[in-house]
């Protein structure tokens, strides 16, 4: 038996004011994306803003459905939009935030496993890392340099591509 370890490196910022201009703008855009959230059931709005290599910004928000599995998270809404409308685009950075009237969110929310799997596949396909900012409005921000750090045991089967 062998014991293996891995380490995840990330940066923390205490407020949006500590970020670079580009990261600050992207977090503000993620907050703007909350407006289009359709979340009448959970009342938990999630917004994402994605910066492409050509400096375009694509927004996404969670879209719920009464048949819960039919809804979609903000990250996948935005990434599938990019896949459909900008198939050769390279994703540089994603900012993700959340808001609810039911309670104060005091820590950055992170992406679900399904979203992480989609994010890792985009990263793999484009052969460049995607930076991810998890932005807690009026709170801390986590910055991760690559989705691979978030899902070290991602489902990958290269033979399926052949």
How does pLDDT run across 3-19, given as a tens digit for each residue? 988 889 999 999 999 99
Question: Phi/psi of residue 154, each to 5°?
Answer: -60, 150
- The residue to which tokens 């803003």 are assigned: 49
pLDDT number for residue 128: 97
Q: Count Cβ atoms within 10 A of the Cβ of residue 49 and give its class: 0-12 exposed, 13-18 middle, 19 or more buried.
A: buried
Give the residue numbers annotated as catalytic, written as ranges. 75
Q: What is the pLDDT of residue 159?
A: 66
> What are 106-159's pLDDT values in tens digits?
999 999 999 999 999 999 999 999 999 999 999 999 999 999 999 888 887 666
CA 108/CA 35 separation, integer angstroms: 19
Q: What is the pLDDT of residues 42-82, one digit of tens each?
A: 999 999 999 999 999 999 999 999 998 899 999 999 999 99
Q: Using a cut of 0.75, tell me whether the model's pTM lies above it.
A: yes
Side by side, which strands form the sheet with 57-61? 10-13, 141-144, 131-135, 91-100, 44-52, 57-61
CA distance 156 to 3: 22
- Is the pLDDT at 40 greater than 90, yes or no? yes
Domains of the chain: 12-156 (3.40.140.10)
CA 115, CA 104: separation in Å to the nearest integer?
23
> 160 pLDDT band (50/70/90 cuts)?
low
């Amino acid at each position: 038996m062998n014991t293996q370890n891995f380490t995840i490196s990330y940066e923390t910022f205490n407020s949006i004011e500590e970020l670079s201009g580009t990261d600050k703008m992207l977090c503000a855009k993620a907050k703007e994306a909350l407006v289009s959230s359709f979340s009448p059931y959970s009342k938990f709005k999630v917004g994402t803003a994605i910066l492409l290599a050509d400096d375009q910004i694509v927004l996404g928000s969670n879209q719920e459905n009464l048949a819960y599995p039919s809804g979609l998270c903000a990250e996948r809404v935005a990434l599938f939009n990019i896949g459909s409308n900008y198939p050769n685009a390279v994703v540089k950075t994603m900012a993700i935030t959340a808001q609810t009237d039911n309670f104060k969110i005091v820590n950055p929310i992170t992406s679900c496993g399904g979203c992480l799997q989609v994010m890792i596949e985009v990263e793999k396909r484009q052969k460049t890392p995607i930076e991810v900012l998890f932005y807690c409005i009026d709170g801390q921000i986590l910055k991760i340099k690559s989705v691979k750090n978030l899902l070290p045991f991602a489902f990958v089967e290269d033979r399926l591509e052949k």
